[in-house]
């Protein structure tokens, strides 16, 4: 098409100019909006989503910010983020465990109230909720780690003895006492936050964190030999003969060798 | 400006019909706006739970779900297929506004409307210039942008800034700094752009306009023969480009205001001293026969301010 021979019609020129102007404006406005959207995704670590919430990446596309979950929460745990006050995306529901934890209602009214499925109706049993993971973040201040029997986080846990257990070990400091270490088992912890709320310290030593912060992740190809062996009920590779170790000379940990002795790992009281 | 355009808008209508008669639709609209807001506030303020939720999504009497279809559409393009409750709620709202008129939402329900109405009232009182007037189609461009951003980011994009749901949620749940946003819109409409937000920018209004493009409830310039060119309807109308085709159409053309931009606010009916306009349905294109030329109304004489 030759631009030289035929003069462009002024209407067309006008139309193209207007369209370019509008499209340019939209590009700027759209970029700002997308930027705001990216900021809105940055959920503070202490802000927990209600039970059954879809992953945070999908949540802002699923939640219409109607507040029905907040209305049906019988313990006033949930609240809607307010513009410029809370660092959570405006109008979306969240709770701070240290303020009001989730009481884990059996009928999960917040999930039932959600009209869009941002809180997934697939969550039938509140024990399957994963709002976050409790982490004993400060062993240096935790009273149990200091050798006391505080035990409060363990006692209040709605999934007691499964989500939090007390692990016994020797108190090296006193030399003749025990330490009952509160230990969280992430596969059972719902992230309700009752432990964090109840921690007696001025600043909780156990905190519920979003799973992305609380947990590591083992590499896909890792296998735990002992688990695989237990599952199979025998050695994983057939036909392997466990030959006795033959070390030369007397004094080696080998009974088959003259002068040898029982290997350390078979001695009574050697652990394992 | 001529002395004529300086005349207080609606002055003549007030003299002819009385104050209440000249503010009938305005009063009805304010009542409607307060009524819908009160429904949402009765629960949190007085424990009377008729309606739970916000304008984005609500549950009435524990049975009737309502969802904002524009928010739902953004969620859909963002990649989330909602539960049936939200879909049914969205459909009910969609059908209701498609029937009665999409932008009826703007002038009879939206909580931002009193804010921009107040800005326009003051704008007229201060006799300010109309300022920045982007094309009316700007809001359609913004509507498209919002949907594209939603699709690209997976976030319901307009809810990041939507002053309508923010103000409503602010009143029902907790204000935060939403008041600053409301002040910003007031100032924008007052000093930067007359009818700027609702008339040019807001994609929610654009969306509801599209929904109600073929709606039943319409204002008609039935009695256009009686028009005395006082221009009061143009002065009060938030979308005054919709008036001319109906009011000044050639003989034989429809007197109905069919533009989807019309919010059916009825202010034109209020301020008209000779009752040119009336609220009717879209199939009623009756025109009052032009009276005898001798009896034609006198064009209004200019009066000093």
* Contact criterion met (CB < 8 Å) for B160 and A40: yes
- Count other Cβ atoms within 10 Å, centred on residue B302: 12
pLDDT tens digit string along B74-118? 999 999 899 889 999 999 999 999 999 889 999 999 999 999 999
pLDDT of residue B204: 94
Q: How far is B206 from chain A (nearest CA, A)?
A: 15
Candidate from A128-132, B16-20, B187-191, B294-298 with smallest mean pLDDT: B294-298
The minimal CB distance from B160 to the residues A26, A37, A57 is found for: A37
Domains A47-128 and A133-214 share a fold: yes
Q: Residues B238, B219: contact at Cβ < 8 Å?
A: no
Q: Which of residues 116-135 of B touch A (CB under 8 A)?
A: 135
Q: Which of residues 31-50 of B touch A (CB under 8 A)?
A: 43
10-residue block means of pLDDT along chain A (272 residues)?
A: 67 89 91 87 88 90 92 92 85 92 93 92 91 93 92 93 92 89 93 94 94 89 87 80 62 60 58 47
* Contact criterion met (CB < 8 Å) for A26 and B160: no
The minimal CB distance from B169 to the residues A67, A84, A118 is found for: A67
- Give mean pLDDT, residues B4-30: 82
- Give mean pLDDT, residues B246-267: 86
- Count other Cβ atoms within 10 Å, centred on residue B281: 12
CATH no., domain A133-214: 3.30.70
Q: Could you tell me if B249 lies within 8 Å of chain A, comparing CB atoms?
A: no
pLDDT of residue B18: 85
Alpha helices in chain B (DSSP H): 3-6, 11-21, 24-46, 69-77, 84-100, 104-108, 113-125, 138-153, 163-172, 178-187, 196, 203-211, 232-236, 243-247, 267-271
To test the contact with chain B by mutation, choose from A116, A117, A118, A121 the residue with the greatest count of B C-beta atoms within 10 A, namely A116
Average pLDDT, chain B: 87
Structure ipTM: 0.84
Q: How far is A199 from chain B (nearest CA, A)?
A: 29
The minimal CB distance from B149 to the residues A33, A84, A116 is found for: A33
Q: Is the dihedral of CA B206, B209, B211, B213 positive or negative?
A: negative
* Contact criterion met (CB < 8 Å) for A64 and B150: no
pLDDT of residue A255: 61
Q: Domains of chain B, with CATH numbers?
A: 15-212 (no CATH), 217-281 (3.30.70)
Q: Which residues of A touch B177 (CB under 8 A)?
A: 82-85
pLDDT surpasses 90 at B36: yes
Q: How far is A51 from chain B (nearest CA, A)?
A: 17
* Contact criterion met (CB < 8 Å) for A65 and B169: yes
pLDDT of residue A114: 93
CATH no., domain A47-128: 3.30.70
Residue B1: pLDDT band (50, 70, 90) is: very low
- Give mean pLDDT, residues B190-217: 91
Q: How far is A140 from chain B (nearest CA, A)?
A: 38
- What are the sequence ranges of the domains in chain A? 47-128, 133-214
| Position with higher pLDDT, B293 vs A14 | A14
To test the contact with chain A by mutation, choose from B69, B139, B157, B160 the residue with the greatest count of A C-beta atoms within 10 A, namely B160
């Amino acid at each position: 098409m030759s631009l030289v021979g035929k003069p462009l019609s002024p209407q067309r020129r006008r139309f193209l100019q207007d369209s370019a102007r509008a499209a340019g404006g939209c590009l700027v406005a759209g970029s700002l909006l997308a930027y705001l959207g990216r900021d809105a995704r940055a959920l503070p670590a202490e802000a927990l989503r209600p039970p059954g919430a879809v992953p945070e990446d999908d949540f802002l596309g699923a939640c219409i910010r109607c507040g029905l979950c907040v209305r049906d929460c019988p313990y006033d745990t949930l609240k809607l983020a307010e513009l410029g006050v809370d660092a959570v995306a405006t109008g979306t529901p969240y709770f701070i465990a240290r303020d009001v934890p989730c009481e884990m209602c059996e009928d999960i009214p917040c999930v039932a109230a959600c009209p869009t499925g941002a809180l997934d109706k697939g969550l039938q049993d509140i024990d399957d909720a994963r709002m976050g993971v409790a982490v004993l973040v400060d062993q240096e201040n935790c009273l149990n780690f200091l050798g006391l029997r505080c035990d409060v986080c363990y006692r209040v846990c709605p999934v007691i003895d499964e989500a939090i257990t007390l692990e016994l070990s020797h108190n090296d400091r006193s030399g003749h006492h025990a330490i009952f270490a509160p230990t969280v088992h992430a596969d059972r912890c719902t992230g309700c936050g009752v432990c964090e709320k109840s921690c007696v310290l001025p600043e909780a030593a156990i905190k519920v964190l979003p799973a992305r912060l609380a947990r590591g992740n083992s590499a896909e190809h890792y296998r735990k030999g002992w688990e695989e062996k237990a599952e199979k009920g025998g050695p994983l590779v057939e036909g392997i003969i466990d030959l006795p170790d033959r070390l030369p000379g007397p004094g080696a940990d080998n009974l088959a060798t003259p002068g040898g002795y029982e290997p350390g790992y078979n001695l009574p009281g050697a652990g394992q | 400006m001529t002395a004529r355009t300086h005349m207080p808008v609606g002055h003549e209508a007030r003299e002819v019909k009385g104050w209440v008669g000249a503010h009938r639709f305005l009063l009805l609209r304010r009542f409607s706006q307060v009524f819908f807001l009160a429904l949402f506030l009765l629960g949190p303020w007085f424990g009377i739970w008729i309606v739970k939720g916000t304008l984005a999504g609500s549950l009435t009497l524990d049975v009737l779900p309502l969802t904002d279809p524009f928010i739902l559409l953004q969620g859909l393009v963002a990649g989330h297929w909602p539960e049936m409750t939200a879909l049914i709620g969205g459909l009910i709202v969609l059908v209701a506004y498609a029937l009665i008129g999409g932008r009826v939402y703007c002038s009879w329900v939206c909580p931002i409307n009193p804010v921009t109405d107040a800005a326009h009232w003051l704008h007229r009182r201060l006799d300010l210039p109309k300022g920045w007037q982007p094309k009316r189609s700007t809001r359609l461009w913004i509507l498209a942008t919002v949907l594209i951003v939603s699709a690209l980011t997976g976030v319901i994009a307009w809810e990041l800034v939507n002053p309508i749901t923010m103000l409503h949620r602010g009143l029902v749940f907790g204000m935060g700094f939403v008041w600053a946003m409301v002040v910003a819109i007031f100032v924008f409409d007052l000093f930067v752009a007359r009818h700027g937000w609702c008339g040019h920018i807001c994609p929610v209004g654009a969306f509801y306009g599209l929904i109600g493009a073929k709606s039943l409830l319409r204002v008609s310039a039935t009695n256009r023969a009686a028009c005395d060119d006082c221009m009061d309807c143009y002065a009060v109308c938030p979308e005054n480009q919709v008036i001319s085709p109906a009011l000044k159409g050639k003989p034989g053309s429809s007197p109905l205001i069919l533009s989807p931009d019309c919010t059916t606010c009825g202010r034109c009916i209020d301020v008209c001293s000779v009752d040119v306009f009336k609220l009717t349905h879209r199939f009623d294109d009756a025109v009052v026969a032009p009276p005898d030329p001798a009896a034609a109304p006198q064009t209004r004489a200019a009066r000093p301010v």
